[in-house]
Amino acid sequence: MQDKNNKPANQLENAGRREFMGKTALLGAGAVAAPMSAAMFASMAKAQAAEASNSPVVHPGELDEYYGFWSGGHSGEVRIMGLPSMRELMRIPVFNIDSATGWGITNESKAVKGESAHLMAGDAHHPHMSMQDGRYDGKYLFINDKANTRVARIRCDVMKTDKMITIPNAQAIHGLRVQKVPYTKYVICNGEFEVPLNNNGKETLEDVSTYRSLFNVIDAEKMEVAFQVMVDGNLDNTDADYDGKYFASTCYNSEMGMNLSEMITAERDHVVIFNLARCEAAVKAGKFKTYNGNKIPVLDGRKGSDLTRYIPVPKSPHGLNTSPSGKYFVANGKLSPTVSIISIEKLDDLFDDKIKPRDAIVGEPELGLGPLHTAFDNKGYAYTTLFLDSQIAKWNVEEAIQAYQGKKVNYLRQKLDVHYQPGHNHTSQGETRDADGKWLVSLCKFSKDRFLPVGPLRPENDQLIDISGDEMKLVHDGPTFAEPHDCIIVHRSKLKPKKLWTRDDPLFADTVAMAEKDGVRLMMDNKVIRDGNKVRVYMTSVAPNYGMSEFKVKLGDEVTVVVTNLDQVEDVTHGFCMTNHGVQMEIGPQATASVTFIADKPGVQWYYCNWFCHALHMEMRGRMLVEA
Ligand code: K7E
Ligand code: CUA
């Protein structure tokens, strides 16, 4: 809570509080006729002051105002944070395998992972929530896996991954956002790496002119690729407008270079603008091709196509962010000290060929070295991470536009040191119409000297910055494990997570159907069903007991254990672990979960509950008797 260049957070808070109380006292003296008791006055002023001073202090037992959804980078997961406390509230395993919950081990999670269930790793970058009319709707969170070209969906009512798809034809899904308006019909994401369209190893491998990157448009409800658009150059980050008309993506390799020096030769790369209505019409009219033996419509959006426009911007741009006013796309220059402001209002004219691509640029403010991502508040300010300078630049968007028109204005307001090398940043609700200008998080890639040394591998540093005043103030250092790439900050009023599972949840519907076929009533029965060398063991759990304290199988049987947690008590999660079999899982209250393994060890094998549930949690165990 303390920083070299800033006062400790509690001092900041107290300073704000004193100031506010002073003003309130003056106001109160003039405006309130009836006398107020000193105690009444003090407690009222204190409550107001805490709110007004945007205090980062969340006392024990108090709840945070915001949920943060953090990507876990190459940990492959998503983390739920509380803001402003920066407490980690939960982890949602997605592309990783999770020992605690059994994600990637249970039958239900393997079914969600589908064709990629065998993959153990992932690289989760960009978590973004579904929207209605440009505001979070609290329904889904979507996230990409750059490592394995996947996109997953998390259901925010239970905070579990419920869909996962591998994107055909493309390679390495990177930038991902959602359609904001009128609602999230589509999830959009970029295939970053260029590959031959029919990437089957039979056609040319070396001829780079046949390589393409694809822009991917996914039906958010069905979680299927609706269509893809091939482009010139590659694709990095992306965002959507607030009109439901355009998507924009940055390209850092317009050169189609295959090594570093080739990729950074051009002074300008570009932003591709996609025209949604024209793309949908082209799909309807059958103006597409298919590749790799699948049926996904691939549109040709290369230069000259009426589906896209290419706006040149300097140099190897990275982040692409839409201002919450809905007026601008901002492309962050990375190798250029500038960001490029694209007027969304001008895009109609651009697609009608009434203006040239560069005419859509209305500002190109110089901010510092290595601009990567930009976030926004509700007062017309933008906050850009400067990777090389280890700073965040606060700048005024309209003044940057005036400066581009030749007016003498200083659009730069402040540069704040962050520690160190920030990648993404994000403001509270800043990618929606509800941007509220209270908090900014800077996800710093390096922490160096900020924490106790923990060996050569260091944590990253997620810093919380108060942006409610004229000046940005650093109020918290948060060490995190590899590697939050990106985050969003969602007001708690947007989310209503369930406290218990409901029995009709689709996440375990297949297991319920299997039990029905076996004639097992999951909420009542404890039963072993033998089906050749397959054995299905159905048991209930109520703290501190499994419904079955022993069952018998033969060596080599394929055993499926199905546990239904009858507890209806909030927070009473049970586990199931079969000792020495590498098998464990979570069974939430009122949920059913199952796991399949081979009984490959003879003799007595104990199973036990590994989620602490009761004073007699240690006694919650039973025996699998394996006959040789
Ligand atoms: Cu590293 Cu959004 Cu994948 Cu920028 S991305 S830093
Ligand atoms: Cu059930 Cu611990």
Residue 42: pLDDT band (50, 70, 90) is: low
What separation in Å is there between the alpha carbon of 612 and the centre of ligand 2?
5
Nearest ligand to the CA of 567 is: 2
Structure-block tokens of residue 362: 């209305």
Among residues 252, 241, 234, the alpha carbon closest in space to that of 318 is found at: 252
What separation in Å is there between the alpha carbon of 181 and the centre of ligand 1?
24
Would you give the DSSP letter of residue 499?
S
Position 474: which residue type? L
So what's the pLDDT on residue 14?
Answer: 39
So what's the pLDDT on residue 614?
Answer: 95
What separation in Å is there between the alpha carbon of 381 and the centre of ligand 1?
22
Question: CA–CA separation, 201 vs 19, rounded Å?
Answer: 69
User: Is 460 annotated for ligand binding?
Assistant: yes
Distances (CA, A) of 255 to 122, 196, 204, 215, 315: 28, 16, 19, 18, 11
| pLDDT surpasses 50 at 483 | yes
CB 560, CB 537: distance < 8 Å: yes
Residues making up the chain, counted from first to last: 628
So what's the pLDDT on residue 7?
Answer: 39
User: Is 373 annotated for ligand binding?
Assistant: yes
Tell which atom from ligand 2 comes closest to the C-alpha of 620: 1
Nearest ligand to the CA of 607 is: 2
Give residue 229's Cα distance to chain centre. 23
Question: CA–CA separation, 416 vs 391, rounded Å?
Answer: 5
So what's the pLDDT on residue 29?
Answer: 35
Structure-block tokens of residue 58: 């969340």
Q: Whose CA is nearest to atom 5 of ligand 1?
A: 485
Distances (CA, A) of 625 to 525, 555, 579, 606: 20, 9, 12, 8
Give the tens place of pLDDT for each residue, 117-141. Answer: 999 999 999 999 999 999 999 999 9
| pLDDT surpasses 80 at 30 | no
Residue 203: pLDDT band (50, 70, 90) is: confident
What separation in Å is there between the alpha carbon of 485 and the centre of ligand 1?
6
Tell which atom from ligand 1 comes closest to the C-alpha of 387: 6
So what's the pLDDT on residue 20?
Answer: 36
CB 460, CB 443: distance < 8 Å: yes
User: Is 125 annotated for ligand binding?
Assistant: yes
Q: Whose CA is nearest to atom 1 of ligand 2?
A: 574
Ramachandran class of 368: left when φ > 0, alpha when ψ lies in -120 to 50, beta otherwise: left
Among residues 363, 372, 313, the alpha carbon closest in space to that of 341 is found at: 363
CB under 8 Å to 258, separation ≥6 — which residues? 208
Residue 319: pLDDT band (50, 70, 90) is: very high
Give the tens place of pLDDT for each residue, 226-282. Answer: 999 999 999 999 999 999 999 999 999 999 999 999 999 999 999 999 999 999 999
Which DSSP string corresponds to 544-560? TEES-SEEEEETT-EEE
First to last CA, the chain: 60
Consecutive H or E run containing 20: helix 9-31
Among residues 394, 400, 395, 420, the alpha carbon closest in space to that of 472 is found at: 394
554, exposed or middle or buried, with CB in 10 Å at 0-12, 13-18, 19+?
Answer: middle
Position 393: which residue type? A
Structural domains of the chain in order of their starting residue, each with its CATH number: 506-626 (2.60.40.420)
Quickly count: other Cβ atoms within 10 Å of residue 232's Cβ: 18
Distances (CA, A) of 428 to 55, 378, 490: 14, 10, 7
User: Is 316 annotated for ligand binding?
Assistant: yes
So what's the pLDDT on residue 337?
Answer: 97
What separation in Å is there between the alpha carbon of 344 and the centre of ligand 1?
23
Arithmetic mean of pLDDT over the chain: 93
So what's the pLDDT on residue 4?
Answer: 39
Question: CA–CA separation, 174 vs 424, rounded Å?
Answer: 14
